[in-house]
Amino acid sequence: MEFNKVCVLGLGYIGLPTASTFATHGIHVVGVDVNQRVVDVLRNGDIHIHEPGLSTLVKGAFYSGCLLVSEKPEEADAFIIAVPTPLEDGDLKRADMRYVIAAAESIVPLLKPGNLVVLESTSPPRTTVDVVAPILERSGMKAGSDFYLAYSPERVLPGKILHELIENARVIGGVDQTSAEVGRDLYTTFVRGEIRLTDATTAEMVKLMENTYRDVNIAVANEFARLADHFGIDVWEAIEISNLHPRVNILQPGPGVGGHCISIDPWFLVEAAPDLTPLIRQARFVNDSQPAYVVQLVERVLEGLEGKTIAVLGLTYKPDVDDLRESPAVEVTRILAERGARVQTYEPFAPHESAPGAHAMSTLDETLGDADAVILLVDHRAFRALDPQFVAAAMPGRVAIDTRGVWNRKAWVDAGFQMYVLGVGGAYA
């Protein structure tokens, strides 16, 4: 099947790269976002998110004449829904499907026989067949007979989105075999990786299983770090030795799990089948409680937080991106401030962002000034290479806490610091 025009609903971390990639491959694309600020920024030639190479790609897409942005969807051969699926506000960890529902409803008046609709948003199992299909069928047409409907999740890593969007394997699940095949026809426009066809619910499960697998294994690593602290050993050494076993690959601990995927997606499985997911639920509890554990470590090291000035390095959920969504570093910072510390943060990829109660600093020198302790929460490349002698000259305190296990401990001790590392019992000497 040939596609002359594609309508992409949602111009975030996935929708914008997807729309731009289609456009640079010669397909006319209408990118849609209900956030007027996003539309205005793009129309002015800028982008609203940080991703290596994305600005150049978007400019190329506009220059080709194949990309337009709008507040409303238009008729097209294919519609791609790439809107957020956050958790609902409140104590219940349930998927907020309002954006998906609204996007599907906006397509109904435009839907024509032979159109393809693809849901890319990460969703609970059976969303495509039980939620999206009934909405689209309000058009009077039937999914799989009159129009095609498929689910194809993004499986890319922030910081490498443009490469992985093209090179990674892709799964396409249709409400029937023909829908999956038509979906394959669309994505072969630019995908070089293997394209696997399946049914829609299996494709939904694939995305959730991938991120849940990561979450559970990170939870084990974080519990190992707590145990190592308890027993007075070095978890980083223990992990390195354990991973010499040919069938063992323990991940690295840290201050928690963030981002819009790993910290969210497992809850969709718990929501869908709570009686069948005790392990997944417990892994989420472990990782969600890790920021509080880090704060306990800081409180213990400083013998209290009230009145202490703490320099926090990094707020994003992973290194070298600007994405603060669900970031454990933000949660650590918030709790530190809530417990009486003066917290000065430095986030080079989002310099104006901070956490509730904390103070965003524009330079590293400002962040370190007057600090009693410095804490590494995100291992940006610049922070990995930080010279402890520079830090010693910039701040009066002599306490350094590494929650990522990346700083050279001896170099920090030689610079006069008491050096503490997550998962290492006591100060390094």
Residues 413, 414, 417: CA angle, nearest 5 degrees: 40
Q: What is the DSSP letter of 407?
A: S
Spatial CB neighbours of 248, under 8 Å, sequence gap ≥ 6: 242
Q: Per DSSP, what are the bridge partners of residue 238?
A: none
- Rounded CA Rg of the chain: 24
Three-class DSSP category at 320: coil
Which residue stretches of 314-378 are H helix?
Answer: 328-338, 364-368
Three-class DSSP category at 234: strand
List the one residue out of 129, 210, 125 whose CA is nearest residue 175.
129
Cα dihedral 161, 166, 167, 169 in deg (nearest 10): 100
List the one residue out of 255, 360, 355, 347 whose CA is nearest residue 298.
255
Phi, psi dihedral angles at 321 (to 5 degrees): -135, 170
For residue 261, indicate whether it is catalytic.
yes
Catalytic position from the list 112, 142, 160, 207: 207
Catalytic position from the list 7, 261, 308, 318: 261
Residue 75: CB atoms within 10 A of its CB come to 14
Three-class DSSP category at 187: helix
Q: What is the DSSP string of 59-97?
A: HHHHHTT-EEEESS----SEEEE-----BPSSSS--B--
Residues 17 and 210: their CA atoms lie apart, in Å, by 22
Residue 9 in tokens:
């609903």
Residue 123 in tokens:
């969703």
List the one residue out of 337, 278, 346 whose CA is nearest residue 313.
346
For residue 5, indicate whether it is catalytic.
no
Which of the residues are catalytic?
207, 261
